[in-house]
Every structure is written in structure tokens, then in C-alpha cells.
Amino acid sequence: MNFLAHLHLAQLADSSLLGNLMADFVRGNPHQQWSTPIADGILLHRRLDSLTDSLPEVREARQWFRAETRRVAPITLDVIWDHFLARHWDQFHPAQSLAAFSAAAEREITPQLSGTPEGFVELNAIMWRERWLEHYAEPTRLARVLNGMAMRRPRLAALRDSYQDFVENYAALEQQFFQLYPRLMELARTQQL
């Protein structure tokens, strides 16, 4: 799961949006550095990543990537799941539009940015201004996201090429998403993540 799914599932689990969004920027035991709600959010994010990577749907979806992109498939899939969540947002969160959800998340997270890692502050400045969460619904936006990630991390250059795997397996990936995401939502609602 990427930014949108982590925030959505965090909200369903009544967990810190800041902690869940910031988790990839924090190493070690978060309880040594952050308040309990934020640290718990970081840990929820980590558990969700671990769980998602072990799901049979995700393991199967990885096999749909070509040999040259299979190594980066888990990263690409995280972005793909956000695409399908954004695209079908009304089915998964009918009480609030994606734009309203994004604005509410921004209002909650932005005042708490002081003291967070510099890279995370920079990410927030761009993410909210460019309305990333809302744009994830556009399939072509994933090409831009994957290219940007590949440019920032040269050893992950295959991310750029993984967009082709997304396009070629779009219908199957969408079907996998509809199988796995409702289960994750239920786990979040029942505090089982």
C-alpha cells in the first residue's frame, strides 16, 4: 500500500495519520522518538506493509511482472493499489469524496510537521500542493510517479519500465485489488492490523 491506502486504513483503524504517513522516514523503535499515538501509527504502517507483502493476491500479482521488473514489483504494486483505491474511491469510502478526504488529511497532518524528518516535510509540501492522492485515479499518473521514484533511486531504475506491466495486466490487477482491499479494510475497522 502507498500513501492513500495507508491514510485510508489508518483512518478506519482510528490511528495517527501522521504516524502512518511518516513511517517510511523513521528507523528503529518509534516509541523512543515519538509520542505513543504517532509511534503506534508508524508500527501500524509497518505491520500493514508486512501483511500486504505476504497476501496470496500480492504474491500472485508479482508473477505478472516481466523478469526485468519483477524485483521492483512490490514497490510498483504499492502504487498500483493506490491507483485502484483512488479510481474506485466512492465504493470504498462513500461518505466522503476523495478530495474532501485528502483535504482533511492535510489539515490533520500539516500542523504536526514540525520536528519530523526533513525529507518528510519536503514530501508533504509537494504532495498536498500537487494533490497526489486525487491524481492517483489517473492511470497515466502512475508513469510519472514510477519515473520520479526511479530518478531519485538509480538502483530502482526498473520502476520506470514496470509501468508497462501495470498497463498490460490492468484488468487482472484491478480484480486482485477488489479481492484484497476489502479484507484489509475489515481488519482495520476491527483493530486487527
Residue 13: the pLDDT is 98
Grid coordinates given for 182: 476489502
Which sequence spans correspond to the domains of the chain? 3-189
Buried b (16+ CB within 10 A) or exposed e, 16-51: bbbbbbbbbebeeebeeebeeebbbbbbbbeebbeb
Across residues 111-125, what is the average pLDDT?
96
Across residues 131-153, what is the average pLDDT?
92
162, 65 contact by CB (below 8 A): yes
What DSSP string runs through 58-69?
HHHHHTTS-TTT
The answer to whether residue 154 scores a pLDDT higher than 90 is: no
Residue 73: the pLDDT is 96
Residues 6 or more apart whose CB falls under 8 angstroms from that of 56 comprise none
Residue 152: the pLDDT is 87
32, 13 contact by CB (below 8 A): no
Residue 93: the pLDDT is 97
Nearest to 124 by CA among 134, 136, 135, 112: 112
Q: How far apart are CA 173 and CA 176, in angstroms?
A: 5
181, 85 contact by CB (below 8 A): yes
Grid coordinates given for 32: 523512543
117, 33 contact by CB (below 8 A): no
Place of cell 526533513: 118
pLDDT tens digit string along 174-191? 999 999 999 999 999 999
Percent of the chain with pLDDT over 70: 100
